[in-house]
Amino acid sequence: MKKILAIHTGGTISMSQGVNGGVLPNEKNPIDNNEVLGLTDIQLENDELLNLPSPQMTPATMLRVKRRIEQAIDNGIDGVVVTHGTDTLEETAYFLDLTLPNTIPVVVTGAMRSSNEIGADGVFNFKSAIQVAASDSARNKGVLVVFNSGIYAARYVTKTHTTSIDTFKDPVYGTLGTVDHGQVSFAQQLLGSAYSQIDHVVDHVYLLKASAGMDDLLLNAVNRPETRGVVIEAMGAGNLPAAVLTSIKSLLKAKIPLILVSRCLSGAAQPIYAYEGGGIELRSLGLTFCEQLNGQKARIKLIVGLSCGKTGTALHNYMANALS
């Protein structure tokens, strides 16, 4: 019998709709009920570690989840499920993917409908995630996200819809596998599984998004002594308005790492265009192009890289390669 630890952190999966229609946290987690799941062949342990709406999650609380998982690994657990609010689920999942050894299945899940809504998806997603965490085929695949029968790599999955129960997708590679009536099947293997051991997280790492007519106001605002790094969601393949180049140069002069991703849903930022503000110029100035990560994931990776002491060329290489 497999032993699975469920770490609950809050979110819609643990909430209920109140009398006025608003969704609110419960004092008692409504899915923390092993009898409802009907999993007679799995020994489930529940840990109510946090009870936070996911916009309140931070890298520091993600670190708490990581430490709890490491403790469970040391105690011989066979797999871990983390329940989480969906707004920042992909960030916590990727943080865990970057900072945990790839030894046991770690699966993150949540819900789009609160526990007392018609068609609530929390119990189904939770049960599916437990089944994946207990599956031998889920080992050595990095941290996984299980949602609405799909199994996704934490590295690439993202929330694509504000309310649909089918919100989590990998826009580049699709699902790694599926859960169908308890049958866990994988069709793809994730490549690369490096991790970094950290015992703290740095702060003052910012994410900005480029837009038409953007000036240098926001970039100048983050040019402060305490700033550790900035991720910029650039246009297209990795281009910025010429109006921000002066502020870009000032940030680089202050030795603040600048990481470039695309604001597009899929595809990698690449230095293709040679016009003023184009990717070729941005790379020549010293910006790092980050492969195939969206802005929020790149920020999490930058936080992890800085927290484990990477600087200069080591930090550039770490951020430039999505597989590292």
Domain parsing of the chain, residue ranges: 2-186, 205-319
The answer to whether residues 29 and 48 touch, using CB atoms and an 8 Å cutoff, is: yes
The answer to whether residues 291 and 322 touch, using CB atoms and an 8 Å cutoff, is: yes
The answer to whether residues 250 and 217 touch, using CB atoms and an 8 Å cutoff, is: no
Q: What is the SS3 assignment for 194?
A: coil
Q: What is the mean pLDDT of residues 225-232?
A: 98
Instruction: Spot the catalytic one: 12, 88, 99, 109.
Output: 12
CA distance 324 to 195: 8
pLDDT class for 242, splitting at 50, 70, 90?
very high
Please, which residues have CB within 8 angstroms of residue 158's CB and are 6 or more apart in sequence? 90, 168, 169, 170, 171, 265, 294, 297
Instruction: Spot the catalytic one: 9, 61, 83, 86.
Output: 86
CA distance 35 to 43: 12
Does residue 32 have a pLDDT over 80?
no
Does residue 82 have a pLDDT over 90?
yes
CA atoms within 13 A on the CB side of 128: 25
CA atoms within 13 A on the CB side of 161: 11
pTM score of the predicted model: 0.96
Residue 180, strand partner residues: 183
Radius of gyration of the chain (CA): 20
pLDDT at residue 29, rounded to an integer? 80
Question: Tens digit of pLDDT for each residue in 138-166?
Answer: 999 999 999 999 999 999 999 999 999 99
CA distance 197 to 83: 23
Binding site per annotation, positions = 54, 86-87
pLDDT class for 109, splitting at 50, 70, 90?
very high
Does residue 127 have a pLDDT over 90?
yes
Does residue 35 have a pLDDT over 80?
no
Instruction: Indicate the class that CATH gives domain 2-186.
Output: alpha beta
Residue 144, strand partner residues: 107, 153
CATH classification of 205-319 is 3.40.50.40, yes or no? Answer: yes
Q: How far is CA 51 from CA 13, 79, 215, in A?
A: 11, 21, 40
Is position 12 annotated as part of the catalytic site?
A: yes
Longest dimension (CA), the chain: 63
pLDDT at residue 26, rounded to an integer? 79
Binding site per annotation, positions for substrate = 54, 86-87
* Residue closest to 299 by CA, chosen among 241, 255, 258: 258
Per the structure block, which two tokens stand in for 17? Answer: 């709709």
CA distance 184 to 97: 20
Q: Could you please report the per-residue DSSP string of 292-320?
A: T--HHHHHHHHHHHHHTT--HHHHHHHHH
What single-letter amino acid sits at 27? E
2-186 against 205-319: fold identical? yes
Does residue 284 have a pLDDT over 90?
yes
Does residue 30 have a pLDDT over 80?
no
pLDDT at residue 57, rounded to an integer? 98
pLDDT at residue 181, rounded to an integer? 92
Q: Where are the beta strands (DSSP E) in the chain?
A: 2-8, 15-17, 23-25, 42-48, 79-83, 106-109, 144-147, 150-153, 158-159, 168-169, 177-180, 183-186, 205-209, 229-234, 258-262, 288-289
pLDDT at residue 149, rounded to an integer? 98
pLDDT class for 11, splitting at 50, 70, 90?
very high
pLDDT at residue 193, rounded to an integer? 75
